[in-house]
Chains A and B, each alone.
Chain A
Amino acid sequence: MQTARQTTDQTTRAGGDIVAGLKTILPMLVAVAPIGLVFGAVAVGKGLSPLEAMAMSALVFAGGSQFVAMDLWTDPPAWAALGFAALLVNLRLILMSASLERAVADFAPAQKLAAFAIMADENWALAEARSRRQKLTPAFYFGLSLPFYGMWLVSTAAGALLGAVIGDTRPLGLDFAFPAVFIVLLMGFWKGRQTGLVLAASALASILVHALLPGAWYIAAGALAGLAAAFIPLSREQVA
């Protein structure tokens, strides 16, 4: 009896966490759909088959690097250069997984591997925000991440199949949904002056590198500059 009730309790809680994760990611699903559509359409325009476009979305699952690859695409593609470009664009994932590791420390090994394999900016940021308030459960993380992954695949497929039918979604402002959500999350990570210093360093480096270098170097540059700023001692406790 006791065990059965405990199991039911745990199942109920897991179910609640899946729903909570799904609710949290909902606005991101709406926002990512047009981006996936555009990626699918661009990929087909570059000569990829719909199946190839979907395979890239399924296996790479990192929008920024996929668009960079489309920018650099040749026929036949230069696989080594494109693989290296993906690494550079995605360097920030190293920092992100280092930070997320502490929140998923109690996940089973297979869950952990899956958690990192489908870690992207959006679900990562929402999971980090959740972990600052309460324990991050596998149910919440996958309730958050799997629909997002699924939407990326579905929208890529739709874009690849519909291709040029898709019009410009810019007037709707949907492309702004990601920066908007990131800004809201940013405000939540504020913890006083040290955060201000980190944000200033990150913004400065990011804008500078964005202006000077093509590609997505600016994200890694901003992230590293922000991380470096975290070591600048501001308060008296840190001097000792």
Chain B
Amino acid sequence: MTIDPATLATILAMAAATLAARLAGAFLVRRITLGPKLEQALNTVPPAVLMAVVAPTALTTGPAETAACAVTALAALRLPMLAAATAGVVTVAVLRALGF
């Protein structure tokens, strides 16, 4: 088991880029005074990021995924996280087994 120099350079470049992104936001936010508007905007980052990650899966992958996303969202209104997420996983597995 060896590490090739070119591969190592690539891994380090990727790691540096990713670490920079991980630190940049915190660094910037610490150095500016947050007005109420910016504070409010930052509060919308979690839903905005999560929606951006989920939307293509939810709406463009296939009927099984779209239906399972809807089931999960509805289950989340009543059930705790693990139960709601499980409902989604079971839905997608069953629908895929049925050929959707």
Chain A interfacial positions (CB closer than 8 Å to B):
26-27, 48-52, 55-56, 59-62, 65-66, 69, 76-80, 82-84, 86-87, 90-102, 104, 112-113, 116-117, 119, 121, 125, 128-129, 170-174, 176-177, 179-191, 194-195, 198-199, 201-203, 205-207, 210-211, 218-223, 225-227, 229-231, 238
Contact = CB atoms under 8 A, between A and B. Distances in A.
A98 B53 contact: no
B82 to A, nearest CB: 5
B38 to A, nearest CB: 9
B9 to A, nearest CB: 4
**Chain B: interface secondary structure?**
helix
Given A86-B14, A219-B49, A51 B1 contact: yes
Given A101-B30, A184-B85, A222-B48, 18 more contacts: A27-B82, A50-B1, A59-B12, A79-B6, A82-B13, A98-B42, A102-B29, A125-B46, A173-B91, A179-B69, A181-B85, A187-B73, A198-B48, A206-B51, A206-B53, A207-B60, A222-B49, A226-B47
B44 A60 contact: no
23 contacts: A27-B85, A55-B11, A60-B15, A65-B18, A76-B4, A78-B10, A82-B13, A90-B21, A92-B21, A96-B49, A97-B22, A176-B88, A179-B54, A181-B85, A183-B73, A184-B72, A195-B44, A199-B48, A207-B60, A220-B52, A226-B47, A230-B41, A231-B37
A222 B23 contact: no
Contacts of B86: 27, 180
Contacts of B2: 49, 51
Contact of A93 (B10, B14, B21, B37): B21
Contacts of A101: 25-26, 29-30
**Chain A: interface secondary structure?**
helix
Interface residues of B, number: 72
A62 B85 contact: no
Nearest to A68: B14
B84 A60 contact: no
A55 to B, nearest CB: 6
A202 B57 CA distance: 14
Given A65-B18, A181-B85, A52 B53 contact: no
A163 to B, nearest CB: 14
- Of B23, B47, B85, B89, the most chain A CB neighbours within 10 A belong to B47
Given A90-B21, A101-B29, A116-B22, A82 B10 contact: yes
- Of A80, A99, A203, A225, the most chain B CB neighbours within 10 A belong to A99
Interface string B48-91: 11111111111110000100110011011100011011111111
A117 B19 contact: yes
A82 B73 CA distance: 36
A222 B51 contact: yes
B30 A183 contact: no
A125 B46 CA distance: 7
Contacts of B8: 52, 55
B22 A194 contact: no
A222 B55 contact: yes
Nearest to A195: B47
